[in-house]
C-alpha cells in the first residue's frame, strides 16, 4: 500500500527544504533583532475563538476552517491564522499585565481549506508578529519595516508595499452609512447582500467583474477618516518615508480577516501571478476586548514563507544555495570508524559541519559520495593515519592534499573559517 500527502499541502524535502529554512530564518532575523519574543502556540484551538475573533463574514471562517469534534465532544479548529491564538495566549497568561507593548512572534503551519493552486495551500507556513498595547503610529511603521527588512534580507527586490487606513470606529461608522446606502441602490443577489450586511467592505474584495465595476464608484473609507485617524495615518507615512521604505496607498485594499482597523498593509510580489500576497497585516483596535481581554489596540503581520520562497525562486536568488558540509570523513576499518565518529563529534562541537561515510563503503565508492555531498574537504582515516596521527586533508575542488595532525584538525578547519 502506498500513501500520498493530503491534497493541497506544501511539503519541503531536500534539497529544497534548505531554501525553505533560509527564507524562514531571514524573515525571522529582523524580528528577533527588534525585541520580539517567541510564542509557541497550539495548532488547534476552540472553534469559537476563530468565529468570534476572525469574523463570520470572512471566507476563512465561513468556508475554509478545518473543524472537528474531539474525543471530549469539543469543537476544535486547526488554526487558519495566528493572531487570535496569540492574543488568546497573551490574555490567558496575563502577558499584557506585565508591561506594554507585548511584543511576540510565532512561526509554523496554518490551515485553510482553500482550492489548491500554485502558492495557495491547505497547509501553509507563516511567520507572524504581534505588538499589543500601544497606539503609537511609530509602532505601525516599525512593524511594516520589519516585514520589509525580512523580504529584503532574503534578497527579494520585485515586491511593493501597499498601505491604507481603515480608520477608527468613528471613521468606519460614517463611511458605513454612506456605503450601505450605495450598496442598497445596487441590484445584488441575496448571498452578496447578506455578506454586505455583515461587512460591507467585503464587496470591495469581490472578484466578479460586474461587482468590482460597481464598487469602483462606491464611497471609499479613506475619504472618511476622522481627524485622529488621518493624523495617525499621515504620521505612519512620514516614518516610512524617513526609513526610505517606498509604499503605494491602495484605498481599495481589503484584507481577508475582519478584525482590522486603522493602518493595514500588504506586500505584493510581481512574479507570483494570482497568489501575489507575500505578507500582510495591520492594526486591530477591538480584537483584544472581543475575545475577553483589555480594551487595548495591537498591530501585527503574517508573512507567507511558501510564497516568499516561490518569489525568491522566481527572482533566481536561491540558485547558489548550498547546504553541503565542510568536511566528508571516510573511515576504513572498524577502529577507524570509532575514531571517525569521535572526530566528527569533536568537529561539530567546534561548529564545523561534517558528514561521515556510513556502511563500510569501499574507498572508490566513498569518494564518489564525498563528491556528491559537495563537501569542501575530504579525509580518509585508516589504520595508517591512526598509527601516525597524521591525515591528508584533501581540497575537493583542486584535489590538493595537505598533511595535518589529527589533533589539530578542528583548529585547522576553524582557522580556515570556510563555512558556517
Ligand atoms: P493573511 O494575509 O491572511 O494574514 O496571511 C498572511 C500571509 O500568509 C499571506 O500574506 C500569504 O502570504 C500567506 N498565506 C495565506 N493563505 C495562504 C495559503 N492558503 N497558502 C499559502 N500562503 C498563504 C494573517 O493571517 C494575519 N493573522 C496577519 C496578521 C497578524 N495581522 C495582524 N497580525
Residue pLDDT, tens place only, 152-184: 999 999 999 999 999 999 999 999 999 999 999
Q: How far is the CA of 81 from the centre of ligand 1 (A)?
A: 7
The C-alpha cell at 396 is 575537493
- b/e per residue, 313-339, with b = 16+ CB within 10 A? bebebbeeeeebbbbbbbbbeeebbeb
Among 304, 305, 306, 309, say which to mutate for ligand 1: greatest number of ligand atoms within 8 Å of CB. 304
In the chain, pLDDT over 90 holds for what percent of residues? 88
| pLDDT of 417 higher than 90 | no
State residue 389's pLDDT score: 96
| pLDDT of 140 higher than 70 | yes
The C-alpha cell at 187 is 441590484
Q: Render 190-214 in DSSP notation, one character per residue.
A: HHHHHHHHH-GGGGGG---HHHHHH
Atom of ligand 1 nearest to the CA of 279: 10
| pLDDT of 308 higher than 70 | yes
pLDDT in tens, 54-85: 988 788 999 999 999 999 999 999 999 999 99
Q: How far is the CA of 320 from the centre of ligand 1 (A)?
A: 28
What pTM was estimated for this model as a whole? 0.92
Mean pLDDT rounded to a whole number for the chain: 95
**Exposure on the CB side of residue 226, measured as CA atoms within 13 A:** 12
Q: In the CATH hierarchy, which top-level class contains the domain 327-418?
A: alpha beta
Among 124, 129, 260, 300, say which to mutate for ligand 1: greatest number of ligand atoms within 8 Å of CB. 124
Q: How far is the CA of 354 from the centre of ligand 1 (A)?
A: 37
Atom of ligand 1 nearest to the CA of 83: 27
Among 107, 277, 305, say which to mutate for ligand 1: greatest number of ligand atoms within 8 Å of CB. 277
Residue nearest to atom 6 of ligand 1 (CA): 302
pLDDT in tens, 196-210: 888 888 899 888 999
Q: In the CATH hierarchy, which top-level class contains the domain 16-168+226-314?
A: alpha beta
Does 160 contact ligand 1 (Cβ within 6 A)? no
Q: How far is the CA of 92 from the centre of ligand 1 (A)?
A: 24
State residue 280's pLDDT score: 98
Question: Which of helix, strand or coil describes residue 163?
Answer: strand
State residue 418's pLDDT score: 52
| Ranges of each domain in the chain | 16-168+226-314, 327-418
Residues 6+ apart with CB under 8 A from 123: 6, 8, 9, 10, 109, 110, 111
State residue 17's pLDDT score: 94
| pLDDT of 117 higher than 90 | yes
- What is the arithmetic mean of pLDDT over 30-54? 97
Amino acid at each position: 500500500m502506498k500513501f500520498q500527502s493530503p491534497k493541497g499541502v506544501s511539503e519541503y524535502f531536500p534539497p529544497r527544504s534548505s531554501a525553505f529554512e533560509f527564507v524562514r530564518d531571514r524573515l525571522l532575523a529582523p524580528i528577533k533583532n527588534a525585541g520580539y519574543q517567541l510564542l509557541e502556540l497550539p495548532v488547534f484551538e476552540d472553534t469559537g475563538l476563530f468565529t468570534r475573533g476572525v469574523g463570520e463574514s470572512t471566507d476563512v471562517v465561513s468556508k475554509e476552517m478545518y473543524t472537528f469534534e474531539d474525543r471530549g465532544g469539543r469543537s476544535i479548529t486547526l488554526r487558519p491564522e495566528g493572531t487570535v491564538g496569540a492574543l488568546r495566549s497573551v490574555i490567558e497568561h496575563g502577558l499584557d499585565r506585565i508591561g506594554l507593548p507585548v511584543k511576540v512572534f510565532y512561526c509554523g503551519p496554518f490551515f485553510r481549506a482553500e482550492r489548491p493552486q500554485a502558492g495557495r495551500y491547505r497547509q501553509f507556513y507563516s511567520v507572524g508578529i504581534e505588538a499589543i498595547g500601544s497606539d503609537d503610529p511609530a509602532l505601525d511603521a516599525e512593524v511594516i519595516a520589519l516585514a520589509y527588512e525580512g523580504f529584503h534580507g532574503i534578497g527579494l527586490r520585485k515586491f511593493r508595499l501597499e498601505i491604507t487606513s481603515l480608520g477608527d470606529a468613528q471613521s468606519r461608522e460614517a463611511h458605513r452609512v454612506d456605503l450601505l446606502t450605495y450598496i442598497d441602490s445596487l441590484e445584488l443577489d441575496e448571498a452578496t447582500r447578506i455578506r454586505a450586511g455583515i461587512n460591507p467592505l467585503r464587496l470591495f474584495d469581490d472578484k466578479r467583474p460586474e461587482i468590482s465595476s460597481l464598487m469602483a464608484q462606491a464611497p471609499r473609507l479613506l475619504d472618511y477618516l476622522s481627524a485622529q485617524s488621518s493624523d495617525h495615518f499621515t504620521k505612519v507615512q512620514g516614518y516610512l518615508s524617513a526609513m526610505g521604505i517606498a509604499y503605494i496607498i491602495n484605498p481599495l485594499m481589503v484584507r481577508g480577516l475582519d478584525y482590522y482597523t486603522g493602518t493595514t498593509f500588504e506586500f505584493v510580489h510581481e512574479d507570483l501571478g494570482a497568489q501575489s500576497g507575500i505578507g500582510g497585516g495591520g492594526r486591530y483596535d477591538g480584537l483584544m476586548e472581543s475575545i475577553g481581554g483589555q480594551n487595548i489596540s495591537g498591530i501585527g503581520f503574517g508573512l507567507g514563507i511558501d510564497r516568499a520562497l516561490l518569489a525568491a525562486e522566481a527572482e533566481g536568488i536561491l540558485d547558489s544555495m548550498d547546504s553541503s558540509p565542510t568536511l566528508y570523513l571516510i573511515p576504513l576499518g572498524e577502529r577507524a570508524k570509532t575514531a571517525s565518529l569521535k572526530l566528527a563529534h569533536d568537529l561539530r562541537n567546534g561548529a564545523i559541519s561534517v558528514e561521515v561515510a556510513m556502511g563500510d563503503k569501499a574507498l572508490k565508492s566513498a569518494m564518489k559520495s564525498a563528491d556528491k555531498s559537495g563537501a569542501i574537504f575530504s579525509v580518509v582515516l585508516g589504520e595508517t593515519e591512526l598509527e601516525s596521527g597524521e591525515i591528508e586533508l584533501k581540497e575537493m575542488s583542486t584535489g590538493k592534499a595537505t598533511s595535518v595532525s589529527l589533533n589539530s584538525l578542528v583548529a585547522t578547519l576553524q582557522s580556515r573559517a570556510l563555512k558556517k
